[in-house]
Chain A
Amino acid sequence: MDVLTVNNLCKSFGGVKAISNISMSIEEGEIVGVIGPNGAGKTTFFNLLTGIYSPSSGDITYNFKKEISSRDFKPFKMPKYGVSRTFQNIRLFKNMSVLDNILIGYHCNLNYGILPSLFRLPSFYRNEEEAYEKAVELLKIFNIYDKKDELAKNLPYGEQRKVEIARALAAKPKVLLLDEPAAGMNTNETKELTKLINWIKDEFSLTIILIEHDMSLVMEICNKIFVFDYGTLIADGTPQEIQTNPQVIKAYLGGE
């Protein structure tokens, strides 16, 4: 079952064509990799998928219980629809605690309104407790429960990445977009991350799309890989197919 369909997607900024004619479909439960040289348009693609940019032409459709088309995309609505993401340069809320960061991830699932907040009505206490329990669950899964009251900016880099992923999961998404989750990690950390991504995919029934430069990670866990270059899709297929694709090799290593 296709959970995401992209049709002839194009995005230009002024005169610059960042993305041209991207079409793809992604099935539920897949782990899909998006790779390509720097500047190929991968993060722009993610920004289009999460409503931060709107398409210049073409469209994006998520097939959840309802169909959601790029015409209705608004960044803050995406988590409620079921789409959540992390960022290339970790965007945690630095001066908030780890727990609070996760609770923000849970924000779209809370809606007890202003009045209960201001006047401390019972629904306030009920909802906050529920949110707290869910957050604690995630903290324990990611092994950062003991750091829950620590300010996010004080955590080491690897743990900050974990918090960001946990925060994205708190939204209870169906599709999770990870933008270079392994950036800055060494081999061991990357191996752990690989295991983690596989595990959360099953545990939370996710479809995962990830941008990565670390080929060991990509080849290991992706069912399908899409290769970007200069804003276009130059190849797609299984890891084996991509590894032997002459276009891909040329894009990464340069021509003969």
Chain B
Amino acid sequence: MKFLNKKNIFNLILILSIYFIVEFLINRGIIDSYIILNIVVIGVNIILAVSLNLITGITGQFSLGHAAFMSIGAYASAIMTAKLGQPFIVGIIAAALSASLAGIIIGIPTLRLKGDYLAIATLGFGEIIKIIGLNNDYIGGATGLNDIPQYTNWTWIYFCVVITIIIINNFIKSYNGRACISIREDEIASETMGVNTTYYKILVFTMGAFFAGIAGALYANYFYFIRPDSFGFMKSIDILVIVVFGGIGSVLGSVVGAVMLSIISVFLQNIPELRMVVYSVILFLIMVYRPQGLIGKNNLRLFKKRGVLNGCAHSK
């Protein structure tokens, strides 16, 4: 299977066509700024969901602090572009690198933790980062940072989304991705078969953080204004809902989930409390009736619970 085969050429043409068509529509004013706003929101969510899916869905490392990576990226880019007057590309690179660093810092100590404990530890890390942000005056503390130049446009968001999806998908469909899935399925067997689980766990945290940081930069440089409170536990849950809804372990699921849930959010944005109530009910129904999500493979299990109760005739 060579690189320039029929399928890849077709995909390339498709990707470029979509870009140019939309760009054309924007130039003609047919797509207005409201739609662009939604495109940015959806794009940011896609990148966040796909990157979280790599950590949680593919490798089975339950991370509840993903929004923290986004916030680090957002602030890094904001500082670069607003305070230091750098061009956007510098902001994005700074965002990706600083978020990756955070990914390594969070990945290493949490290596030995599993399941619930890992979830809570990542949540704790996320909150600590938020609290540090709230108390740091250089970046505006609780009132946040504003006057961030609006650099994010269709071109930036589209190509960042496309590159994220392609890179993460390529990673998954390689021996690295297989190794990560095996870690999720049975960490001890995986290690015994030669997979350096430490390396891969840190790697996916770093990669996931890398892309979340880019998402943060795109977000900051569109919405002019960011504050630590927008990136707390609730945002991490938002991203998790998308991943679960779309299907844990499925890149396509994350994309579809992000699109659908962003659109649902828009409809519910006038009643924010009801939006969360609706979200929580969606989440619940999926967990009970279709835990594999919209596109997930059937009966995908992350950790199997052992015991007689599983096979017992005792009814639910």
Contacts and interface: CB of A to CB of B under 8 A. Distances in A.
Do A and B contact each other directly (Cβ–Cβ < 8 Å)? yes
Contacts of B171: 114, 117-118
A108 B189 contact: no
B3 interface: yes
Majority secondary structure of chain B interface residues (helix, strand, loop or mixed): helix
B261 to A, nearest CB: 25
Contacts of A114: 171, 176, 203
Give the interface residue-count category, chain B: 20 to 34
B188 A52 contact: yes
B185 A76 contact: no
B193 A128 contact: no
Given A118-B171, A124-B174, A91 B188 contact: yes
Interface string A116-158: 0111101011011101000000000000000000000000000
A138 to B, nearest CB: 14
A71 interface: no
A79 interface: yes
Contact of A93 (B176, B186, B197): B186
Contacts of A125: 1-3
A25 B301 CA distance: 42
Contacts of A93: 181-182, 185-186, 189-190
Contacts of A91: 186, 188-189, 192
Interface in A68-107: 75-80, 84-85, 87, 91-96, 100, 103-105, 107
Majority secondary structure of chain A interface residues (helix, strand, loop or mixed): helix
A61 interface: no
Given A117-B174, A125-B3, A78 B192 contact: yes
Nearest to A167: B193
B2 A76 contact: no
B175 interface: yes
A117 B176 contact: yes
Give the interface residue-count category, chain A: 35 or more
A204 to B, nearest CB: 17
A75 B196 CA distance: 9
A76 B194 contact: yes
A24 interface: no
B3 A76 contact: no
Contacts of A171: 193-194
Interface in B5-37: none
A117 B194 contact: no
B189 A92 contact: yes
A103 B173 CA distance: 12
Contacts of A120: 3, 170
B192 to A, nearest CB: 5
A160 interface: no
A100 B2 contact: no
A110 interface: yes
Among B1, B176, B181, the one with the most A-chain Cβ atoms within 10 Å of its Cβ is B176
Contacts of B160: none
Nearest to A125: B1
Nearest to B3: A120
Contacts of A75: 188, 191-192
Contacts of B304: 94
Contacts of B170: 117-120
A120 B7 CA distance: 14
A131 B186 CA distance: 21
B167 interface: yes
A230 interface: no
Interface in B158-184: 167, 170-171, 174-179, 181-182
Interface of A: 50, 52, 75-80, 84-85, 87, 91-96, 100, 103-105, 107-108, 110, 112, 114, 117-120, 122, 124-125, 127-129, 131, 167-168, 171
Interface of B: 1-3, 167, 170-171, 174-179, 181-182, 185-186, 188-197, 203, 297, 300-301, 304
Q: Sort A-B residue pairs by CB-CB distance and give the 5 closest, nearest first.
A: A108-B194, A117-B174, A91-B189, A79-B194, A93-B185
8 contacts: A52-B188, A76-B191, A85-B192, A87-B192, A91-B189, A93-B185, A93-B190, A105-B193
